[in-house]
Amino acid sequence: MNLARLIADMPKAELHLHIEGTLEPDLMMALARRNNVTLPYATVEDIRQAYEFNCLQDFLDVYYLGMSVLLKREDFFDLAWAYLEKMAAQNVTHVEVFFDPQGHTTRGVSFDTVLSGLTDAFDKAERDFGITSKLIMCFLRHLSEDEAFDSLEQACACKSHIHGVGLDSSEQGHPPSKFKRVFAEAREQGFTPVAHAGEEGPPAYVAEALDDLHIERIDHGNRALEDPSLVKRIADSGMAMTVCPLSNKRLQVVPDLANHPLRHMLNAGICATVNSDDPSYFGGYVTDNYLAIAEALNLTRSEIVQLGRNSFIGSFMNEADKRAAVAHFDEFVDKAR
């Protein structure tokens, strides 16, 4: 089987995906019309033209603007369902999905509206496609600790629908330590902690996320590679890192994909995984990310298999489900010679 076919056909999990980052321009336009929201774009083409980013903040400005069309429960359902239909077509069998409630509650959309629309879609995807999922609620790190505590309080009222808590938005100047007490309370309440770290921020932010937030997975983590002792620590811990190649390219975290550090991560023994981050904004869903990085780095069959396998190993499935998913993956790869 050729490698592009292997990538397309192998079972995969996606572990770093912001549901609001799957809002495609045509759905954005349709929801703007449905909800009478005025956008600063006249056409779908205008929206696409706005997707030129020099850094994370350039993207975030456009991302928060795009969210303004999401107002009702059915809008969140339509958003998530469009993503899940694509995942079914890409042989993605498990997803762990971020959502940004503060991006909505600050606009007057209730936490319950957001969560119910999303869970309607994820429940239907399990029934219709057999895609399993876990939701991870992110705190927007440019907002205050108090605001994060408010969001956590709302999450505590719907624990059965939310597996973990994460940390996203503008990294520089908002170190993990700012949310040390929020994460302590979240862990106390049973949420699994993760954080974006080392995307633009220094290696010290990755160390802080480990030491202060006690995270169980690192989102991005690229700049950890600048500190060899940190690399060894991450590799020795077995902790997964959720790498997003096309995002890194579009946000200029790497100069180009040929210089992406993914192979170095694997060679260092890190459980690296491939993910799409915000696929509507960065030019591709998870399979597109595998294809692009495989081509740019000339990844071998065994490296691609390792990445696919890592996507299940690094997931937050319970041990029995994880064992079954890895066995299913290995069986597929054995047959796909």
Beta carbon nearer to Zn ion, 171 or 277? 277
Interacting residues toward ligand HPA by CB under 6 A: 18, 21, 56, 63, 168-169, 196, 199, 247, 277-278
Beta carbon nearer to ligand HPA, 224 or 333? 224
Beta carbon nearer to ligand HPA, 20 or 78? 20
From 204, 201, 212, select the one nearest 173 (Cα to Cα). 201
Please choose which of ligand HPA, Zn ion, none residue 329 contacts, taking the beta carbon within 5 to 8 angstroms, the exact cut-off set by kind: none
- Least Å from the CB of residue 59 to ligand HPA: 7
- Least Å from the CB of residue 70 to ligand HPA: 14
Residue nearest to ligand HPA (CB): 168
SS (H, E, C) 112-177: HHHHHHHHHHHHHHHHHHCCEEEEEEEEECCCCHHHHHHHHHHHHCCHHHCCEEEEECCCCCCCHH
From 146, 149, 160, select the one nearest 115 (Cα to Cα). 160
CA distance 170 to 302: 35
Alpha carbon distances (Å) from 314 to 40, 195, 299, 308, 329 = 40, 14, 20, 10, 14
Residue 226 among the catalytic residues:
no
Give me the catalytic one of 199, 200, 208, 303.
Answer: 199
- Least Å from the CB of residue 16 to Zn ion: 6
The only residue of 277, 284, 299, 313 in contact with Zn ion, by rule CB under 5 A: 277
Alpha carbon distances (Å) from 197 to 13, 200, 203 = 21, 8, 8
Beta carbon nearer to ligand HPA, 75 or 277? 277
SS (H, E, C) 50-117: CCCCCCHHHHHHHHHHHHCCCCCHHHHHHHHHHHHHHHHHCCEEEEEEEECCHHHHCCCCCHHHHHHH
Please choose which of ligand HPA, Zn ion, none residue 24 contacts, taking the beta carbon within 5 to 8 angstroms, the exact cut-off set by kind: none
Piece in contact with Zn ion (CB under 5 A), picked from 125-133, 139-147, 154-162, 273-281: 273-281
- Least Å from the CB of residue 102 to ligand HPA: 11
- Least Å from the CB of residue 169 to Zn ion: 9
DSSP 246: H
CA distance 253 to 223: 9
Please choose which of Zn ion, ligand HPA, none residue 21 contacts, taking the beta carbon within 5 to 8 angstroms, the exact cut-off set by kind: ligand HPA
- Least Å from the CB of residue 239 to ligand HPA: 19
In sequence order, the 6+-apart residues with CB closer than 8 A to the CB of 18 are 97, 98, 99, 100, 138, 168, 277, 278
Beta carbon nearer to Zn ion, 19 or 47? 19
Partners of residue 197 on adjacent β-strands: 220
Please choose which of Zn ion, ligand HPA, none residue 166 contacts, taking the beta carbon within 5 to 8 angstroms, the exact cut-off set by kind: none
Beta carbon nearer to ligand HPA, 7 or 60? 60
Residues in contact with Zn ion, counted by CB under 5 A, come to a total of 1
Piece in contact with Zn ion (CB under 5 A), picked from 27-35, 46-54, 130-138, 270-278: 270-278
Question: What is the contact surface with Zn ion in residues (CB under 5 A)?
Answer: 277
Report the catalytic residues.
199
